Structure 1
């Protein structure tokens, strides 16, 4: 702490004491109620300071983020509070959020994500059928120019566009098999190439 910080701290302490003494002299008649209010505001202030100090830990718990270790060729994805593993990737240069789904055979794009990566869902030929948890849906086979996940870039990747209702695109097994090692341990998914 340098001399400027010390001077600022002394100034703030004196200012705080002056405000407190003014407050108590104005409220001598109802001191009990005043002390309760001061205690309440003190707890609110301390709570705000604690929340600010712990914000990084809180935000990581609420919305965990994946870590990329490019030099080691691996990605570590924490399990989200809903139990899924959400993986951020770039498809044809567009950022997408996937759900890792070992029950899905291929990469499955929603209609919105297909449009975001440069495909036109209305012009696709939905000739295939797939069984999902929501029943049978129509799918259209497509080829993705690039799929970049962390340090790895794959070209000419097969995928399908789902014509049914889906909240997120799925990262299925045909893509995951391109990784040499898939490990789930301690609430984290690790992909290594």
Structure 2
């Protein structure tokens, strides 16, 4: 019944358009063809969106045996989604960082009170010297690996991405980079 109503409505609107543009039928047919192509293009984009998203923003996966595979992102870095205090955070793997380094925004997401932090240490970063505040994360879960009481720092400077440093990565028995992927074996 709904289909019949839509067909009748389309016929009425289409008939009105044809009557109004009867002197320009060729131009009207071109415009109709353009709109049909736009509609088909939008439908194709919606249908292929998951494939496009996986190509543009690759995601990590846990393989049989618990090995975590992380495809290299288009910018050449490796990004992991890690559960910190039961909140998902996106980290960039940084083998040049010693610790887990949280942005202030990510620290707030995991329940750290920013106004109570004491930036008692300094660190050298790509942006120069910055203040850092030591914190302890209640839980950090990456795939099948769950750890409690993990030390981290909150960066006082401007950062766009939290960093996953070597002290955390060394908890894995094997770290491999090859064929465009990072493999972490528990």
TM class by shorter chain equals 0.7 to 0.9
* 1:190 lines up with 2:183 in the alignment: yes
Q: Find runs of 4+ consecutive structure 1 residues off by over 4 angstroms.
A: 21-28
Between the two proteins, the alignment pairs up a number of residues equal to 182
* 1:41 lines up with 2:35 in the alignment: yes
- 1:146-157 counterparts in 2 under 5 A? 146-157=139-150
Distance 1:42 1:123, change over 3 A: closer
Distance 1:42 1:120, change over 3 A: closer
**TM superposition shift of 1:150:** 1.0
**TM superposition shift of 1:61:** 2.5
Distance 1:116 1:25, change over 3 A: closer
**TM superposition shift of 1:24:** 5.8
Match of 2:90 among 73, 97, 101: 97
Residue 159 of structure 2 aligns with which residue?
166
- TM normalised by structure 1 equals 0.79
Residue 127 of structure 1 aligns with which residue?
120
Q: Distance in 1 between matches of 2:51 and 2:113?
A: 41
| Cα distance per residue 1:57-78 (max 9 Å; x no partner) | 1122233322223x42122222
Match of 1:107 among 100, 103, 114: 100
Q: Distance in 1 between matches of 2:66 and 2:182?
A: 14
**TM superposition shift of 1:26:** 6.4
* 1:181 lines up with 2:178 in the alignment: no
Q: Secondary structure at the match of 2:23?
A: coil
* 1:118 lines up with 2:111 in the alignment: yes
- TM normalised by structure 2 equals 0.81
Structure 2: 5+ residue runs without aligned partners?
none
Structure 1: 5+ residue runs without aligned partners?
1-7
**TM superposition shift of 1:175:** 0.6
| Cα distance per residue 1:116-150 (max 9 Å; x no partner) | 32333333332221110110011122222221011
**TM superposition shift of 1:162:** 1.3
| Cα distance per residue 1:71-120 (max 9 Å; x no partner) | 42122222333332221111222222211111111111122322332333
Match of 1:55 among 34, 37, 49: 49
CA-atom RMSD in angstroms: 2.8
- 1:4-83 counterparts in 2 under 5 A? 22=15, 27-69=21-63, 71-83=64-76
